[in-house]
Chains A and B, each alone.
Chain A
Amino acid sequence: DGGITQSPKYLFRKEGQNVTLSCEQNLNHDAMYWYRQDPGQGLRLIYYSQIVNDFQKGDIAEGYSVSREKKESFPLTVTSAQKNPTAFYLCASSTPRYPGGDGYTFGSGTRLTVV
């Protein structure tokens, strides 16, 4: 079955460390997205990519970096510059065509905690 796999499910980061969250999809979707969700809050867009080797900053990109070397993969690195990284991170994918009746397919998320 096609879907999106995020790993790990839980991740702990020490102060000053960079960590990378994995997101892989086998849906043949061109577009992929990273969102951050804080407790009881909505989704805030970190980065998105609509095609391989291209990506754009979202609303809260500071302290994060991404790459899109393969269509299937869109890893997110949380750098030491991100001062408050503890949050739940969701990856999603979609076909890029507007108006896009399929919406998003979401991964199951990664909970990142700073220790």
Chain B
Amino acid sequence: AQTVTQSQPEMSVQEAETVTLSCTYDTSENNYYLFWYKQPPSRQMILVIRQEAYKQQNATENRFSVNFQKAAKSFSLKISDSQLGDTAMYFCAFPKGNNAGNMLTFGGGTRLMVKP
């Protein structure tokens, strides 16, 4: 079964500091995408960053980057120069598998609080 685990239910970071959110997953597929979604207090789900599994290079989007370790099945999100607007729930997700099309499996989420 495809599973996604986020082991940190809550985290906090000081404004302007760097924080890393962890995500591990289990799959038997070889090529897939991995995603991080952000859910701020408005509860609108926003795509933060995506990584294609067969690409060696870690994805980067401005202050957000990933550390993708395919062999270890680890996909952590690093937020640099944290801002108050980064306060949100963060969800890691990846597709369930070839027979399920593009249906995503989500982790349980990490609540991030950025403190002034």
Contacts and interface: CB of A to CB of B under 8 A. Distances in A.
Interface stretch (A11-19, A36-44, A69-77): A36-44
Could you say which interface size class chain B belongs to? 20 to 34
State the main secondary structure of chain A at its contact with B: loop
Given A108-B43, A108-B44, A103 B104 contact: yes
Contact of A95 (B43, B93, B98, B102): B102
Interface stretch (B15-23, B30-38, B76-84): B30-38
Contact of B102 (A40, A97, A106): A97
Given A31-B101, A98-B95, A104-B104, A90 B45 contact: yes
B43 A31 contact: no
Interface of B: 29, 31-33, 35, 37, 42-45, 47, 50, 52-53, 91, 93, 95, 97-98, 100-104, 106-109, 111
